Structure 1
Amino acid sequence: MDGRGRLLVVTAVDAERDALAAEAEERFDIAVVGVGPASAAAATARLLATASTPYRAVISAGIGGGFAGLVEVGGLALASSSIAADLGAEAPDRFLPLDELGFGTARYEADAGLVDLLGPALPEAVVGPVLTVSTTTGSAAGTAALRGRHPDAVAEGMEGFGVATAAAQAGVPFGELRSISNVVGPRDRAGWRIREALAVLADAGRVLGKLEA
């Protein structure tokens, strides 16, 4: 990641944008790109293509689920890569990812320079693969299947791979941040901590603002 241009941070929903904007002090651009990888990819691609000055990097930021024992509720995940965890084909005995089918890639690596910059600035963040899913995991069986395929994944979200796809095609460095509102597993809304996760996201926005100052 070079020092030219502004940083673009994209979120799925307004609440995430507002949390980041509270601390950003207009030091970077923030945009809502919608929920899910398709909407995120399309909107991010448009933002990158129509920018008057090329962006130095794009970060997909928002709340997400954390895998128990790796990153807990109230924690922060910094993606080393973004993986389209449910993009592929089912076979009788296992799931076949897009790469194995020969139709492209289901993984984008986060920009190493961006990870090296954000890691020390966010020392509480757990660095590891972040899964992108079109349907959030809500059962023990689904969680076990994901962990079996991606044992080193630290978190789950719905937009990262879409943003990464747009960034890769535009030649722009990509990163992903997820503040953790819930444990990936059986759906339990009573256990969600969205307000706390948004506060963690706001803290991350403060750090990003300092990096851009």
Structure 2
Amino acid sequence: MTSGPLPPAGAPHRLLVVTAVAVERDAVAAGLHLAGHTAADVIAAGAGPAAAAAATATALARGSYSLVISAGIGGGFAPAAPVGTVAVAESIVAADLGAQTAEGFVPIADLGFGTSQHRPPAALSRSVAAALGAAYGPVLTVSTVTGSAERAAELTGRHPDAVAEAMEGFGVAEAAAAGGVPVLEIRTVSNTVGPRDRAAWRIGEALAALTTAFGKLPAALEVEAGHDD
């Protein structure tokens, strides 16, 4: 599913940025503050797609926004998105919403019960990725963070171009789609998707990268919306 239309070319972006936890919210807000961007609300919705969808829908019901961004730290798929780098979603994929069968995983869309992915406006997401020097590809939403090589291999087998995984993007995108508002997902990488090794995580580095990314974002949003595809 492609997300809603952008405002006309030259129109200001009123942003709703949805993170999971307070430290991510604060990192995003610090970057926007450094950029002098005041036309944004940044919220911490809670972890997981359900909390993210509920908080996003509530915020959209209370305010008027031209763009919703799911943001925070996450796992990066090697070698596309190393620790400390930025990932921007070409598509936002519900990677574990569906059915597990003897033949493998069946996405919810293939079961006929809804959509399995949302696509941000293509020109905008590409422009943001380029401006941020980000890896660009599918970002997977999971309800259980990957903690083994086997699970990482299974995900990359189904989504070979995936650049990152996190827990909130698809929930944010579902609410944005219901409200007719376009969506982006921006993640900075704290760890490599694979065997769970907390000692190797670089959360501070990823949060600093999130601040830097959102400091650059307002300029990146100056895309000609009318030329999106």
TM tier, shorter chain? over 0.9
1:6 counterpart = 2:14: yes
Counterpart CA distance in 2 for 1:178 and 1:120 is 14
Letter matched to residue 151 of structure 1: P
Give the one of 37, 43, 55 matched to 2:55: 43
Taking structure 2 as the reference length, the TM-score comes to 0.88
Q: Deviations over 1:49-101 (max 9, x none)?
A: 111xx201000000000001111001110000100100000101211110111
The runs of 4+ residues in structure 1 deviating greater than 6 Å are none
Give the one of 20, 23, 27 matched to 1:15: 23
Shift of 1:107: 0.6
1:200 counterpart = 2:209: yes
Could you tell which deviates more after superposition, 8-17 or 106-115?
A: 106-115
Counterpart contact for 2:126–2:136, Cα < 8 Å: no
1:106 counterpart = 2:116: yes
| Secondary structure in 2 matching 1:99 | coil
Shift of 1:7: 1.0
Shift of 1:116: 3.7
Q: Percent identity?
A: 57
Counterpart contact for 1:27–1:209, Cα < 8 Å: no
Q: Deviations over 1:178-208 (max 9, x none)?
A: 1000000000001000000000000011112
| Secondary structure in 2 matching 1:196 | helix
Residue 180 (structure 2) aligns with? 171
Residue 227 (structure 2) aligns with? none
| Secondary structure in 2 matching 1:198 | helix
| Secondary structure in 2 matching 1:61 | strand
Give the one of 31, 46, 58 matched to 1:34: 46
Q: Deviations over 1:123-161 (max 9, x none)?
A: x20110000000000011111111111111110000000
Give the one of 54, 58, 61 matched to 2:71: 61
Residue 128 (structure 1) aligns with? 137
Counterpart CA distance in 2 for 1:176 and 1:11 is 10
1:138 counterpart = 2:147: yes
Taking structure 1 as the reference length, the TM-score comes to 0.94
Aligned pairs, how many? 210
1:76 counterpart = 2:83: no
Letter matched to residue 19 of structure 1: A
Residue 128 (structure 2) aligns with? 118
Counterpart CA distance in 2 for 1:12 and 1:101 is 29
Letter matched to residue 167 of structure 1: A
From the superposition, tell whether residues 183 and 55 of structure 1 become closer, same or farther in structure 2 (CA, over 3 Å): same
Counterpart CA distance in 1 for 2:126 and 2:76 is 22
Counterpart CA distance in 1 for 2:210 and 2:15 is 16
Counterpart CA distance in 1 for 2:220 and 2:210 is 15
Q: Deviations over 1:7-43 (max 9, x none)?
A: 1111000000111111212342111111000000011
Counterpart contact for 1:164–1:174, Cα < 8 Å: yes
